[in-house]
């Protein structure tokens, strides 16, 4: 009855507020002390860990870091591929013929032959003799067509030759492959011809096989022997023959070629 009376008086008259404040002040240290074990347990869980758990966390973090590094490398590769594709598509603006983007899917295992395999074939209207270019220059021509693939002979193959001309003055020559990806040879160039190191060789368009005026190579060496009628001229291909992955198949005007 006394407790009920005190509760009623406190609710109606609010006479126990001072007493409750005093009791709270007195009992607070007991609450704080009673909470110490829980605080200590939380601190220990955050700061005192077993060696095995630290090893596990370290291995997990190493794995995550390795995965992130792999993703960063993949992004770098995709970024570089994007740059190459942009350059490839920009190079098509130099041509007035239609082009088709293709991807290299294989190379010849024979080191003596410079052949590559593309993922486009007769179903994509690829035809025998079709020229192939990359973002930098001429690469070669199609020599074999299957429904879903085709084989291309690179300009550096020892059996390949194409007509070129010096971009500076129009001097014509024949650029032949010698079996090296980094070198072409110009045969039967008269020692009196005006050709110098650094000259850009472009396709002349003679024969109608290759598009006219597209970069082929840059002259790197000119040797003139007074006792010989012809100069020894070598050039470096403009196309990235050992690096290009995406290329362009050029659809030349076959009707004009046939005429």
pLDDT tens profile 150-168: 999 999 999 999 999 999 8
Residue from 164, 161, 100 nearest 132 by CA: 100
Query: 68 near 94, Cβ under 8 Å?
Result: no
**Residue with more model confidence, 111 or 21:** 111
How far is Cα 195 from Cα 217, in angstroms, rounded to an integer? Answer: 13
Kindly provide the residue ranges of all beta strands, DSSP E only, lying in the chain, ordered along the sequence: 98-107, 115-118, 131-133, 138-145, 150-154, 161-166, 172-177, 184-190, 200-203, 215-223, 230-237, 246-251
Residue 106 forms beta bridges with which residues?
Answer: 117
* pLDDT for 163: 93
Residues 171-190: what's their mean pLDDT?
A: 92
Q: What is the pLDDT of residue 37?
A: 77
Judge whether 155 and 184 are in contact, CB under 8 Å.
Answer: yes
CA-CA distance, 233 to 186, in Å (whole number)? 5
Considering only residues 164 and 259, tell me which one the structure prediction assigns the higher pLDDT. Answer: 164
- Arithmetic mean of pLDDT, 44-54: 66
CB 231 within 8 A of CB 191: yes
Give the model's pLDDT for residue 177.
94
Q: Report which of residues 70 and 212 the model is more confident about.
A: 212
Average pLDDT over residues 183-191: 91
The residue with greater pLDDT, 109 or 88, is: 109
Is the pTM value of this prediction over 0.95?
A: no
Q: What pLDDT shows up at residue 254?
A: 47
Share of the chain above pLDDT 90, in %: 33
pLDDT band at 128 (very low <50, low <70, confident <90, very high): very high
Q: Output the CA angle 173-153-241, nearest 5 degrees.
A: 80
Query: What pLDDT, on the 0 to 100 scale, is given for residue 256?
Result: 45
Residue 81 clears pLDDT 80, i.e. is over it? no
The whole-chain average pLDDT of the chain stands at 80
């Amino acid at each position: 009855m006394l407790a009920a009376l005190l509760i009623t008086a406190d609710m109606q008259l609010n006479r126990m507020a001072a007493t409750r404040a005093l009791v709270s002040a007195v009992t607070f240290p007991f609450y704080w002390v009673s909470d110490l074990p829980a605080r200590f347990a939380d601190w220990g869980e955050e700061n005192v860990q077993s060696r095995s758990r630290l090893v596990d966390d370290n291995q997990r973090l190493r794995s995550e870091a390795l995965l992130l590094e792999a993703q960063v490398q993949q992004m770098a590769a995709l970024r570089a591929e994007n740059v190459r594709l942009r350059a490839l598509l920009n190079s098509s603006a130099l041509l007035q013929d239609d082009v088709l983007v293709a991807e290299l899917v294989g190379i010849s295992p024979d080191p003596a032959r410079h052949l590559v395999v593309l993922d486009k074939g007769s179903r994509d209207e690829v035809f025998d003799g079709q020229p192939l270019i990359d973002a930098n220059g001429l690469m070669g021509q199609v020599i074999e067509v299957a429904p879903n693939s085709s084989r291309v002979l690179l300009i550096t193959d020892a059996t390949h030759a194409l007509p070129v001309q010096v971009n500076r003055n129009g001097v014509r020559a024949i650029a032949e492959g010698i079996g090296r990806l980094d070198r072409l040879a110009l045969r039967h160039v008269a020692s009196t011809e005006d050709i110098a190191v650094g000259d850009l060789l472009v396709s002349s368009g003679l024969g109608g096989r290759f598009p006219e005026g597209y970069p082929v190579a840059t002259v790197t060496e000119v040797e003139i022997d007074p006792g010989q009628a012809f100069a020894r001229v070598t050039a470096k291909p403009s196309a990235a023959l050992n690096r290009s992955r995406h290329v362009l198949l050029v659809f030349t005007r076959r009707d004009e070629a046939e005429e």
